[in-house]
Amino acid sequence: MRIALIADAYPPLRSSGALQLRDLSLELARQGHAVTVLVATPELHRDWVIEDCGGVQVLRLRSPRTKDVSYVRRTLGEALMPFAMLRNMRRSPLAAEHWDGVVWYSPTIFLGPVAAWLKRTSGCRGYLIVRDIFPEWAFDMGLLSKGLPYLFFKAVAGYQYKTADVIGVQTDGNLGYFEEWVDFPGHRVEVLHNWLANAPDSGCSIQLKNTVLAGRKVFVYAGNMGIAQGMSVLLQVADNLRKRTDIGFLFVGRGNDAQRLRSDAAARGLENVAFFDEIDPDEIPGLYAQCHVGLVALDPRHKTHNIPGKFLSYMHSGLPVLATVNPGNDLVRLIQSERVGRACTDASPESLKAMVTAVLADVAADKEMPARCRSLAARMFSPAAAVRQVVEALRG
């Protein structure tokens, strides 16, 4: 099939969405499909650029800046983004291309117009991959009230849901939110598990033996540090365990909360904590090889379900997890049923402190835990399984 994959993130960006789309596109090509990624690229000085990325054709389209800017500027940029993409695509050599299927990725919620135009001009089906439910989670977090901005975002999200023939959500717990969309003729909602390709350990620029964490059992968090993660509780746990010279906490990444967390750790005088800036994704396996437990954090105010990409990366590396997530999150059941770590839902430093020692005891006593982590990743979270499911849906 000739498949168009629409996104606002793709390498060299290092976000989890960019990596997922890279792995999905490469697997589509590996399975014999002709895939073209249409990606919004603010830093372009031309209207469009076509690249070959490992056998995947990537059409980069100039668009407004939407990342690392204020919320107002981001909203304006994202609202204009699909129309800039369409304008510049019509100027590219692919303007008259015919597609057998269209796939797009949310977040962002603003790519519906691009998907609708490609579907209409090619007469093909469309698959929407939903990795978080916005604006619902922003309302749950108190970032939005149910005023005009919320209604605007709700309408934009609703448009892309109507545009899709099939919507793939992360977990069973998210199916209920989309019940109303199933009523549209020809529409379907299904679970499409997250995916991540297995990567070799090619080393890492961060060497823990040269840091304050040398010789400790290291709990690592690698990824976005933002409001949605609610990571302050992790620093409280580190503070409560400051006398344990055998335990350390490592935070690697960027985000709106990154500098605040660094300052908080410094103000507390925590010598069992280390921070590093975002590293190349290819270095992640080498980083995890030096660690003992992976950390997952989601603010307890969330009401939707989310299995973060970092959880998948921990599983691929055979790294058990300690998770603090919102009540009812499907991730808790998954961790418990697969016996790949510990999880709590009360966001309590006391509960997490107890779980730190409990998960270390589990790892010491259960030598099969790393193998179970890798088995779960291969069985449930592979790009090959995701591609087969998406292609089948596009064929109808």
- Domain assignments of the chain as residue spans, ordered by start: 2-195+382-395, 208-379
**Fold match flag (2-195+382-395 vs 208-379):** yes
Give the percent of the chain with pLDDT over 70.
Answer: 97
Q: How confident is the model at residue 258 (pLDDT cuts 50, 70, 90)?
A: confident
Confidence of residue 231 (pLDDT cuts 50, 70, 90): confident
141 falls in which pLDDT band (50, 70, 90)?
Answer: confident
How many C-beta atoms surround the C-beta of residue 232 within 10 A? 16
Tens of pLDDT along 3-57?
999 999 999 988 888 999 999 999 999 999 999 999 999 989 999 999 999 999 9
Residue 84: which of 62, 69, 66, 103 has the closest Cα?
A: 62
Which tokens in the block code for residue 231? 């990571």
Q: Are 3 and 102 in contact (CB under 8 A)?
A: yes
Does the domain at 2-195+382-395 match CATH 1.10.10.10? Answer given as: no
Name the DSSP letter for residue 128: E
Q: What is the pLDDT of residue 302?
A: 67
Residue-level pLDDT at 66? 87
DSSP three-state, residue 227: helix
What is the CATH code for 208-379? Answer: 3.40.50.2000
Least confident of 98-102, 152-156, 296-300, 379-383: 296-300
Confidence of residue 228 (pLDDT cuts 50, 70, 90): low
- Whole-model pTM: value is 0.85
Q: What percent of the chain is helix, strand and coil (3-state, nearest 5)?
A: 45, 20, 40
Position 305 confidence tier, pLDDT thresholds 50, 70, 90: low
User: Measured on CA atoms in the order 100, 106, 108, 112, is the torsion positive or negative?
Assistant: positive
